[in-house]
Amino acid sequence: MITITAIITVTPGSDALMAAELLKVAAHVRANEPDTIDFFISQSRDNPCRFTTYERFTDAAAMDRHNGSDAVAVFFAAVKPHLAEPVILETCTELSAK
């Protein structure tokens, strides 16, 4: 299993936009990506401008399909002007899951 953790921080006042755009990606994943096993979105309780996604893929090809999708391209085009700092991405091989 391949995983990605993303930490995304937006400028103040952009948190509603970010939440809406992430939920659009989640809807696309649900409808179109059977090999994306999980797609979790979280918003920090301490800093509402910071979001985290945790994504699980059956394999690298599934991850590449997701990352190369039109939905992800549209997402980044919409939020790029609102990013407060570079997106932090950590791609991993899952060692354990409950």
pLDDT tens-digit profile, the chain (98 residues):
999 999 999 999 999 999 999 999 999 999 999 999 999 999 999 999 999 999 999 999 999 999 999 999 999 999 999 999 999 999 999 999 88
Give the DSSP H or E segment for 27.
Answer: helix 15-32
Domains of the chain and any CATH numbers:
2-93 (3.30.70.100)
